[in-house]
Structure 1
Amino acid sequence: MSIENIRQFIKEKAEQFGGQQSSDFIERNNTKEDAFEKGGAYFGLISPEEENQGPYHDFSIVVFPSKEEGKSWLIALGIGSLGFKNDYDLASYPGLRRLFSKIVDSHSFIKSDFSDIENGLPKEFFNREDIVHLRKSIDNSKGYGKVLPAIQILKDPESDDSKALITAFVALYAKIRGWNWKAEYTKAIDEALEPFITDTAIDCKNEVRNLLLERKYLVLQGPPGTGKTRIAKQVAELMEAEIFFTQFHAETSYSDFIYGVRPKLTSDQLSYELIKGELVKAIEFASKPENAQKNTILIIDEINRANLANVLGPIFYLFEHKMDITNSEIEISPNTKIKELPTKFFVLTTMNTADRSLAVVDFALRRRFAWYSLKPTSILGKTKKIDNKKVVQIENSNSFFFTEDFTKISNIFDWYASSTELNLQPGQGYFIAETEDEMKNRIRYEIFPLIKEYLQEGLLRNAKEEFNNYFSTRINLSLFE
């Protein structure tokens, strides 16, 4: 394989993405014989502000080649050994890592913090047999491994798969550097990245159903608008189950959910009656012999809004996954005790991850339930234009998904939001409307107040100008008036 071929390939791709040598990048080539002997042979692209040789600053695209036939190479987003001069802010944006994480496969390496130049490569990666011949190039002790936040292994550098990966690395470098914003170059970048960053459609309903059948007790968690309750009901329908439904709130108690005694006034006479909660009703239904083969699902909406220790009490014991049957019995209502929950009884709950007023979920719940995360997802389908806005027709309805608005909000969160703040992103349900005027009202009266509240609470501060620009342009409102 030819180092010269890959060098030329990278320069061609850089030009295809709008980069001009000297003005947008400098090519470095340290692949002479002595570089291989000493270790540290590399070539790649660096900032045009740096010198043609010697140590340099900031982000670069670096390739570590091998002269041995059949041996792996590495391509990496690197940081010059002099550290940061202009790129520290860029390195601190969570979106930079997210972009490269979509390209780097699970067998390679990506750092948790791109601004970290103190910690080196993990031993497990450094000691891999397929890159042992490149250890001198990425040696932590010399500092090289500490400045490589994203590394991709190229098993055969001149294969189509490796060239696609190399192209994606160069395209991302062009994107973060902003070489040229002409349409022809941005289109070429988008086409190079599309195979890596386009989300694959996932059949959530079937995944949730299969997990529920395996684990029996499941929490659907995600930001508002991601369709948690709708999916829960759809899964119950897929399983042809008898559905029992309840929604928790801050005042939900044991007597509401399981059983309690309430006063009853009849003909000026005070009496008391036993009230069975949805849990007892569901268990009793599932326990009847005639329902033994029928699925029964209890859906609990907003499970994290209640004090679970108070609501469930000793009932928590029954939710052990694959629990051993013992002689212990739990009273679920007067005169009714059980050792275990019915075989065909399932609990499917929802939890809003954007609800910041709530305490950390009880670890007892985390241990006993499986967890499935739903994220804001673009709705795919046939596109059209409404008032020059790209929309997707919602199947079997008169509503549309406003793709451009969702994408703009999603891109802001993706680039600026921390992992915790991603839980605040409004889901796709916020971007469904029948008309452009209705969509504007949704932005004005739902999304705008939501983002304003986040900012007032000190969240997403790095994104405030991006959000303000979006709202000013879209609905002529400023977040700071």
Structure 2
Amino acid sequence: MSIENIRKFIEEKAEQFGAKVDNEFNKPYVERNNTGQEALKDNGAYFGFIHPEEEASGPFHDFSLTIFPNDQDKPWLVCLGIGSSGFKNDYALATYPGLRRLFSNLTNEKGFCKSDFSDIETSLPKAITGATDLQHIKNTIKTYTKVLPTCQIVDDPESEKGKQIIGAFVAGYAKLREWATNKDHRKAISEALEPFLKKEANDEIEEVKSLLKERKYIVLQGPPGTGKTRSAKSVADEIGAKIFFTQFHAETSFSDFIFGIRPDTANEELRYKEYLGSFAEALKYAVENSKEDVILIIDEINRANLSNVLGPIFYLFEHKMEVSNVEIEISPNFKVNKLPNNFFVIATMNTADRSLAVVDFALRRRFAWYSMTPKIINGLSKRLENVYVNVVTEEEFFFKEDFAVIEGIFNWYASSTELDLQPGEGYFIAKNELEMLNRIRYEIFPLIKEYLQEGLLRNAKEEFNNYFSTRINLSLFE
């Protein structure tokens, strides 16, 4: 295998991604090349790019793109490395969750990705240091074992697959170094990364239907705008079930959901009458109509004090419960010792609402949890008032450019917990450009501003501010 061919390939890719090596005053990188015969003979050969402020030789700082080659037709190792001198300019970058997310997508079972890219104290796992594929460079790997946050074994660097992996690592390095200065550069980077970042399009409705059939009681959880309630209703409609619907809030009580008494305001004298809550109504209908599926939809299940609302019926939510000798009273003259087979529950939970009641482990064990994340709505492409969008219906459009910007900021800067705050695709559906601008101004802008005021997504504040300033001429800091 020709090291020079791969070096040339990498340099060409870097230029496609925006790295102009002849830029005298703003060099994109410094190249390191230690692939002479002595280095190859000693299995200590390497080449790649380091931070443009570093020297051409000697110890260096910060992230590098490093490749350990050989001339024995044996596998190579392509890595995102850190100079043996540690961090100088890149420590903040190393803490961005999006950097790890990006490179974790570029590694497979023959690679490795650290959980913390700022960690230069932990060694590589034995799966890499002791890999039979890499025995020929074992000593080299041990030398750099603490400063290789992610690496991938490449069996044949000159094959199409090998070049695809190496090209993706170069694209990842181009992204972290921000080489791209125009749309052609950004397009080239996206195309190099796309085979590794492409997500399988799941049929959420079918998955939820299958899960519901297996577990009976499920919670659809996710950020606002991801279509949780709509999906719950769609599943019920496709099953052909009888739907009962309720929405929890802070004041929802046992008497609202199960059974209680209320004043009869139709009478002149003070009288009380029994009241069946939504759960009791749905359950009674299911018992009396055993051949018909019944689905109770509980919207925003974590807005209420669940222990108080569920009371003794909590015991019944075991999806494989057999008939027991314990009867739970739902209302006077109505007791059950198990929930009927034709009775199902779909609840929804907004993961972005941090003021809500905590769902305890006992409830989590009784329900299956299905996560819904923001996603692109695929459809026909159409230009609408100079904005590229996807057609949702004949009258509504999905503004994919705005969605992509917000999603990109969250993916790069948000922690795993903060990803639950990303506005879903529902925020980006509008009838025209004016409606979308109003959606950004009066819904998305205040939401992001609230997040920042609560100390969330701090590293992304300038990115968000730039988006809003450009799109709606509003600053987050005025």
TM-score > 0.5 by shorter chain: yes
Sort the Cα spacing of 1:260 and 1:37 in 2 relative to 1 into closer, same or farther, 3 A: farther
Contact residue 308 and residue 362 of structure 1 kept, 8 A: no
The equivalent of 1:248 in structure 2 is 248
One-letter code of the match for 2:320?
K
Gaps of 5+ in 2: none
1:479–1:316: structure 2 CA closer, same or farther, 3 Å change rule?
A: same
Deviation at 1:106, TM superposition (A): 5.0
What's 2:58 paired with?
Answer: 54
* 1:147-158 paired onto structure 2 within 5 Å: 147-158=147-158
1:209-220 correspondence runs (5 A):
209-220=209-220
User: Which residue of structure 2 aligns with residue 79 of structure 1?
Assistant: 82
Q: Secondary structure at the match of 1:269?
A: coil
Out of 446, 460, 464, the residue aligned to residue 443 of structure 2 is 446
Q: CA deviation at 1:138?
A: 2.9
Secondary structure of 2:181's aligned partner? coil
- Paired AA for residue 168 in structure 2: A
Tell me the residue number matched to 2:344: 346
1:60–1:457 Cα change, 3 Å: same
Per-residue deviation, residues 119-138 of structure 1 (Å, max 9, x unmatched): 22234554555445544333
Query: What SS does structure 1 have at the residue aligned with 2:271?
Result: strand
Assess if the C-alpha contact under 8 Å between 2:241 and 2:295 holds in 1: yes
Aligned length: 474
Distance (Å, rounded) in 1 between the aligned partners of 2:35 and 2:105: 29
Name the CA shift for 1:20/1:266 in 2 (closer, same or farther; >3 Å).
closer
Residue among 281, 295, 301 paired with 1:303: 301
Q: Deviations over 1:235-294 (max 9, x none)?
A: 111211111111100111111111112232454333332211121222222223xx3343
SS of corresponding position for 1:78: strand
The 1:159–1:223 alpha-carbon spacing in structure 2 relative to 1, beyond 3 Å, is same
2:368 is matched with: 370
Contact 1:21 1:27 in 2 (8 A): no
Structure 2 counterpart of 1:11, one-letter code: E
Moved more, 415-424 or 184-193: 184-193
**What is the DSSP-based 3-state SS (H/G/I as helix, E as strand, rest coil) of the residue aligned with 1:221?**
strand
Partner of 2:68: 64
Relative to structure 1, the CA distance from residue 320 to residue 269 in structure 2 (aligned partners, 3 Å threshold; closer, same or farther) is same
Per-residue deviation, 1:84: 1.0
Q: In structure 2, give the amino acid aligned to 1:336.
A: F
Identify the residue that residue 230 of structure 1 maps to in structure 2. 230
1:420 aligns with 2:423: no
Tell me which amino acid in the other structure corresponds to 1:370: A
Counterparts of 1:330 and 1:167 in 2: how far apart (Å)? 63
What is the TM-score normalised by the length of structure 2? 0.92
**Aligned partner of residue 270 in structure 2, secondary structure:** strand
SS in structure 2 of the partner of residue 48 of structure 1: coil
- Percent of paired sites with the same residue: 64
Letter in 1 for 2:34: N
Q: In the alignment, which residue of structure 2 is the partner of 1:99?
A: 102
Equivalent runs, 1:43-442 vs 2, <5 Å: 43-66=47-70, 69=73, 71-105=74-108, 107-123=110-126, 126-131=129-134, 134-139=137-142, 142=143, 144-288=144-288, 291-395=289-393, 397-442=394-439
Seen in structure 2, the aligned counterparts of structure 1 residues 480 and 183 have a Cα distance that, compared at 3 Å, is closer
Superposed CA RMSD in Å reads 2.3
Instruction: Quickly say closer, same or farther: Cα 1:122–1:319, change in 2 above 3 A.
Output: farther
Whether the 8 Å contact between 2:225 and 2:424 is mirrored in structure 1 is yes
SS of the equivalent of 2:88 reads: coil
Runs (5+) with no aligned partner, structure 1: none
What code does the residue aligned with 1:344 have? N
Task: Determine if contact 1:40/1:138 at 8 Å carries over to the other structure.
Answer: no
